[in-house]
Amino acid sequence: MIDTTIDVINKLGLHARASGKLIEVTTKFRSFIQIGKGDKLVDAKNIMSLLMLGAGKGTTLRLVIEGVDEEKALEEIQSLFAAKFYEAE
């Protein structure tokens, strides 16, 4: 099991388009992936749950991944966040 944090660094935060891109990544994996603030974790494969987080720029999110492909899932999620969801700023 991986339990780490990730920072939201893109200008608009985890808005609808960014959440959609995160869903594209998370749904590729068999691992159970949760994201949230502190103890309030949500399913990172559910668009409505992600939008309800209200994670703006500068938010530090907790990321919990458990499953057979957890390392690869972490790598791709970190890359997506680092690339600022491939949005022009």
- Per residue in 6-60, pLDDT (tens digit) is 999 999 999 999 999 999 999 999 999 999 998 899 999 999 999 999 999 999 9
Could you list the residue range(s) of the whole structural domain that residue 8 is in?
2-86
Terminal Cα-to-Cα distance of the chain (whole angstroms)? 34
User: Active site includes 4?
Assistant: no
Rounded distance, CA 18 to CA 24, Å?
A: 10
What pLDDT, on the 0 to 100 scale, is given for residue 87?
Answer: 87
Of 87 and 73, the structure prediction assigns the larger pLDDT to 73
Q: How far is CA 56 from CA 12, 27, 37, 66, in A?
A: 6, 22, 12, 25
Of the residues 2, 12, 13, 15, only one is catalytic, namely 15
Specify the CATH number for the domain of residue 17: 3.30.1340.10
